[in-house]
Amino acid sequence: MVAAAAASHGKAGLLRWVSARLRGPDLPVLTKELRVRMRGARAFLIMLGYVVTLSLFAVGYLFVTTAASGILSTGAMRATTPDVYIWLVRRLFATLAVAQLALVVALAPALTCGAITVEREQQTLEMLGLTLIPSRSVVVGKFLASLCYVVLLLLCSVPVFTFTLMLGGVSPLEILTVYLVTFAAALFFGAQGLLASAIAKRTYAATVLAYGLTGFWLFGFFASAWGPAPFLFFCAVTLAGLATVAAHGLVPRLRPGARAQRVTHIAVFGFTFCAVLALLNAPFFLDSVVDLAMETSLNPNPYVILYALSLGQQGGQYAGPSSGYSPYGGPYGLVGVARTAPIVWPAVCLGALSLLGAALAMCAATSLFGAARAPQADPPEVAARAAADLFPDTASREDAS
């Protein structure tokens, strides 16, 4: 078939034939954003800043540890045991991973929180809203465009990470896993930014809200690792939120208009995710209260694992420079796979969880955007006054009864 197409259309025809089959669903917003995003110097300056920050971090880290312990300086290097060397490289790797994660968590909401508010501010929202494009397509298009840019940033940092691969002690699988965790963070926190953009009317308000949400969710992710008190606090917030939502849904008096309904939508999405997160963290909370004899190194939160690794602990527990067996023949050897942190499966779970959270946030954003482009009804008080004016008989009858 391909050959037939090639024969009938020549080379250009074949290209067109293939590209027509490769094209997915029509996402005009994504196409537009992708065309526009890389114009001008800004996108490239951010990329440069991103890589420079990460590299400085890596070099600075090496420099500081070397100065502190002297182990990586040329002379001392030979005297260092393989264990210490590997421990150091792994620390470097984990520190880079945490730094990249922090950068992405800080950048992802910033990239999306203007998505809808900027349209409002530059007076293009009306015209976009009046087209026949589905709200879902707008929200997904904006989101994917930002995500593409984050992926580009992540690709830029690959050389920095291969540096640790070259030093030895880190497996390619671990690097891949770290990228998965970072991508999941971009997915989740980017979606929060988009949600904030759909809720707020102005970009500055959306920015504040986006970082507020980010802080809240980070707290949620870390709650069980920090101990019982934060976890219980997080659970309390979740329960209170769910109760409020339930009350809104069940008591009709509490929802006078479409606006309240929209608020309910967002809250349902948000607090459902809160509940999922709380449930996932629950076993580790229980473990910390009544000893379930679970290994702390099995904490399923990749954020916690990476953070612990960067502090020189293995899988949440301090392993120390000389613990365990090392498969390395020498300090400079690039041998096989080193000890792997138990991070792959937690990372996959985190990916799934982030996908769920992002999907929920996008549903909320879609419903909000849909409401914003629908014909705007009068505020309740205006409608009531007008009704009294238009149908004075009915109004007075109601007053009398």
Partner 1 sequence: MLTIDRLRKDYKALTAVNNLSFHLEKGDVFGFIGPNGAGKTTTIKVCATLLQPTGGTVYVDGLDVTKHTDEVRGMIGYMPDFFGVYDDIMVWEYLDFFAAAYKIERARRKSVTDDVLELTDLTSKRDAYVEALSRGMKQRLCLAKTLLHDPKVLLLDEPASGLDPRARIEIKELLRELKAMGKTILVSSHILPELADFCNKIGIIEQGELVVCGDVGEIMRKVQGGKALEIVLLDDCDKAVALLSELPNVKGIQRNEQSLRVEFSTDEVDQALVLQTLVQNGLRVQSFAEVQVDLEDIFMKVTRGVVS
Choices 23-31, 159-167, 337-345, 347-355 (CB under 8 A): range interacting with partner 1? 23-31
The nearer residue to partner 1, 77 or 387, going by C-beta atoms, is 387
Among 7, 15, 36, 176, binds partner 1 (CB under 8 A): 36
Q: How many CB atoms lie within 10 A of CB 197?
A: 29
Q: How many residues bind partner 1 (CB under 8 A)?
A: 32
Among 228, 374, 397, 398, binds partner 1 (CB under 8 A): 374
Based on the shown chain and the rule CB under 8 A, indicate whether residue 40 belongs to the binding site for partner 1.
Answer: yes
**399/243 Cα distance (integer angstroms):** 34
**237/274 Cα distance (integer angstroms):** 9
Amino acid of residue 97: A
Cα end-to-end span (Å), the chain: 78
The nearer residue to partner 1, 114 or 316, going by C-beta atoms, is 114
**265/214 Cα distance (integer angstroms):** 19
Paired with 318 in beta bridges are: 313
- 341-370 positions binding partner 1, by CB under 8 A: none
**182/231 Cα distance (integer angstroms):** 24
The nearer residue to partner 1, 35 or 397, going by C-beta atoms, is 35
Based on the shown chain and the rule CB under 8 A, indicate whether residue 376 belongs to the binding site for partner 1.
Answer: yes
The 8-class DSSP code of residue 295 comes to: -
Choices 36-44, 155-163, 207-215, 269-277 (CB under 8 A): range interacting with partner 1? 36-44
Based on the shown chain and the rule CB under 8 A, indicate whether residue 295 belongs to the binding site for partner 1.
Answer: no
The nearer residue to partner 1, 33 or 174, going by C-beta atoms, is 33
Based on the shown chain and the rule CB under 8 A, indicate whether residue 311 belongs to the binding site for partner 1.
Answer: no
Q: x/- string (CB under 8 A) for partner 1, residues 191-210?
A: --------------------
Among 377, 380, 392, 397, binds partner 1 (CB under 8 A): 377
Contact 50, 108 (CB under 8 A): no
Among 70, 385, 392, 394, binds partner 1 (CB under 8 A): 385
Residue 65 DSSP SS3: helix
Based on the shown chain and the rule CB under 8 A, indicate whether residue 378 belongs to the binding site for partner 1.
Answer: yes
Q: How many CB atoms lie within 10 A of CB 186?
A: 27
Based on the shown chain and the rule CB under 8 A, indicate whether residue 39 belongs to the binding site for partner 1.
Answer: yes
Based on the shown chain and the rule CB under 8 A, indicate whether residue 64 belongs to the binding site for partner 1.
Answer: no
Contact 210, 129 (CB under 8 A): no
Based on the shown chain and the rule CB under 8 A, indicate whether residue 398 belongs to the binding site for partner 1.
Answer: no
The nearer residue to partner 1, 260 or 377, going by C-beta atoms, is 377
The 8-class DSSP code of residue 132 comes to: S
Among 291, 375, 399, 401, binds partner 1 (CB under 8 A): 375
Q: What is the DSSP string of 305-373?
A: HHHHHHTTEETTEE--TT-S----SSTT---S-----S-HHHHHHHHHHHHHHHHHHHHHHHHHHHHHH
Counting beta carbons within 10 angstroms of the beta carbon of residue 63, is it exposed (0 to 12), middle (13 to 18) or buried (19 or more)?
A: exposed
Q: Give least dist CB 33 to partner 1, A.
A: 10
The pair phi, psi for residue 318, each rounded to 5°, is -70, 125
- 101-160 positions binding partner 1, by CB under 8 A: 122-124, 126-133
**180/121 Cα distance (integer angstroms):** 35
The nearer residue to partner 1, 26 or 398, going by C-beta atoms, is 26
The nearer residue to partner 1, 68 or 127, going by C-beta atoms, is 127
Q: Give least dist CB 276 to partner 1, A.
A: 35
**117/205 Cα distance (integer angstroms):** 9
Q: Give least dist CB 133 to partner 1, A.
A: 4
**Six token digits for residue 119:** 């349209």
Counting beta carbons within 10 angstroms of the beta carbon of residue 334, is it exposed (0 to 12), middle (13 to 18) or buried (19 or more)?
A: exposed
Among 31, 73, 162, 396, binds partner 1 (CB under 8 A): 31
The nearer residue to partner 1, 74 or 376, going by C-beta atoms, is 376
Q: Give least dist CB 378 to partner 1, A.
A: 5
Going by C-alpha positions, the residue among 352, 363, 361 that lies closest to residue 109 is 361
Q: Give least dist CB 383 to partner 1, A.
A: 7
Q: Give the residues lining the site for partner 1 (CB under 8 A).
A: 26, 28-29, 31-32, 35-36, 39-40, 122-124, 126-133, 374-379, 381-383, 385-386, 390
